[in-house]
């Protein structure tokens, strides 16, 4: 009985595994973007509340929204909602999760960040 040559076997196996390797890397990258979006949302909410508590009472909402948006990279789109009630300032940041490349299309769901702090009293 004649043995068949195994030349090229590694190449064939590698070509068969390439799609699985590529899909795995794409999924890992997407999870990195999702995690980074959560980090950005939380940080933007924290910064927005910090700015609002230090601002004058009539300027709190505008300072809050501006500070929250300033902390976001241009590639991440979203909104910052600020509110004041009972001496407490809150900020909610809603960010779109990009698909593979920041600044391109986004998933149909958002990541939310929330922060709150007590208003600072101004000393005379």
Task: Give domain status of residue 50, yes or no.
Answer: yes
Instruction: Report the chain's C-alpha Rg in angstroms.
Output: 24
Confidence class for position 87, pLDDT limits 50, 70, 90:
confident
**Is residue 78 a part of any domain in this protein?**
yes
Question: Is there a domain that residue 21 lies in?
Answer: yes
DSSP element (H, E) containing 98: strand 88-98
In a domain, 68, yes or no: yes
Q: Would you say residue 2 lies in a domain?
A: no
- Please check whether residue 124 lies inside any domain of the structure: no
Q: Give the structural domain span for 31.
A: 9-118
Residue of 91, 103, 34 lying closest to 66 (CA atoms): 91
Report the percent of the chain where pLDDT is more than 70. 93
- Token pair of 83 as six digits: 């509110």
Confidence (pLDDT) at 27: 94
Work out how many domains the chain is built from and give that number: 1
Q: What is the pLDDT of residue 52?
A: 87
Task: Write phi, then psi, for 120 (nearest 5 degrees).
Answer: -85, 145
pTM of the model: 0.78
Scored b (16 or more CB within 10 A) or e, 10-46 reads eeeeeeeeeeeeeeeeeeeeeeebeebbeebbbbbbb
């Amino acid at each position: 009985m004649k043995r068949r040559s195994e030349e090229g076997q590694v190449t064939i196996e590698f070509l068969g595994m390439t799609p699985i390797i590529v899909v795995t890397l794409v999924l890992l990258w997407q999870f990195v973007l999702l995690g980074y979006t959560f980090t950005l949302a939380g940080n933007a909410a924290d910064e927005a509340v910090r700015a609002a508590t230090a601002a004058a009472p009539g300027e709190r909402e505008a300072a809050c929204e501006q500070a929250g948006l300033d902390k976001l990279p241009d590639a991440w789109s979203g909104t910052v909602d600020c509110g004041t009630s009972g001496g407490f300032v809150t900020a909610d940041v809603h960010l779109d999760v990009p698909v593979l490349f920041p600044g391109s299309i986004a998933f149909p769901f958002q990541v939310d960040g929330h922060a709150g702090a007590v208003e600072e009293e101004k000393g005379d």
